[in-house]
Amino acid sequence: MLPNWLTGSQQGQSDGNNDERHVVLGTPLKAPLMEDQEEIVFGCGCFWGAEKGFWRLPGVVSTAVGYAGGQTPSPSYEQVCSGRTGHTEVVRVVYSTPAIDVSDLLKLFWECHDPTQGDRQGNDQGSQYRSAIYTTTPRQMQLALTSRDWYQQALTQAERNSITTEISADRTFHFAESYHQQYLARPGSRPYCSAMPTGISLGDFESANYLLPSQVWSHYDWSISHCVLRGENSPIQLQT
């Protein structure tokens, strides 16, 4: 069965499609986790561009966009955009723990957007665009906090502002409507991403256990604003 924090409309009652598959990866969006899989949820501004960044990483099994961190049950996109539900736009990432560590995911998270902007990301303003990490295991929470502290020191040294990222455990994830899923890989999609990377890399923070080789990160160029859109849709392939 699905995790307890995925209930009601999150299990597919909102669109009646529990068999929906990832447009790029071909994997089920709502399958139960396997023993060697974990999930974590990230908010990095508009979820269209953020999702593309994560689905490209080796070891990621599936991604889905949705809403989390608020109070309204079964929220719609229009309700979330009103700013009255308390939810933020997020990406749920399911990953294979032997292939990729949460440390790698946190590296992409901190580097792919500006976590100091509060209720805003780039040109998008509102609480639904706030930076957030919603964990599902104690280790994820530990690494989210220690990576935040490391990244804050790096930002401070660069004379940047303070991190505003919300970090909480086990917040209910609501799947967004089907047309939002893997939006940037769908024919006719409107290229858009609100993320504004800081250009500062996450290093070896306490208890980090990076599993991905350094060559993976050459596929991302955070010196270009919104560069998530300039990369390919296909997953990054590791050289053997």
Residues with a known catalytic role: 46
Element spanning 183, H or E: none
- In the sheet that holds 173-175, the strands lie side by side as 166-169, 132-135, 37-43, 88-96, 60-68, 173-175
Half-sphere exposure of 191 (CA within 13 A, CB side): 8
| 66 φ, ψ (degrees, to nearest 5) | -175, -155
Q: How far apart are CA 215 and CA 74, in angstroms?
A: 40
Residue showing tokens 């502290």:
149
Instruction: Confirm if 164 and 130 have CB atoms less than 8 A apart.
Output: yes
Tokens of 190: 């409107």
Tokens of 230: 């300039």
Tokens of 4: 């307890």
Which amino acid is it at 133? I
What distance, in Å, lies between the first and last C-alpha atoms of the chain?
36
Which amino acid is it at 37? Q
Strands 166-169 and 173-175: unpaired
